[in-house]
Amino acid sequence: MMLDVWGIPNCQTVKKARAALEARGVDYRFHDFKKTPPAVAMLRDWLRDAPLETLLNRRGTTWRQLSDAERAQAEHTDGALELLAAKPSLIKRPVVVEEGRVRSVGFDAARFDTLG
Q: pLDDT tens digits for 81-114?
A: 999 999 999 999 999 999 999 999 999 988 888 8
Q: For residue 34, what are the contacts with CB-CB under 8 A and spacing of at least 6?
A: 8, 88, 89
Q: What is the CA radius of gyration of the chain?
A: 14
What is the pLDDT at residue 46?
97
Gap between the Cα atoms of 85 and 31, Å rounded: 14
In the CATH hierarchy, which top-level class contains the domain 3-112?
Answer: alpha beta
Q: What is the pLDDT of residue 114?
A: 87
Active site residues: 11
Give the global pTM. Answer: 0.92
Give the C-alpha separation, 18 to 64, whole Å: 27
Q: 13-72: per-residue pLDDT in tens? A: 999 999 999 999 999 999 999 999 999 999 999 999 999 999 999 999 999 999 999 999
d(CA 104, CA 94): 8
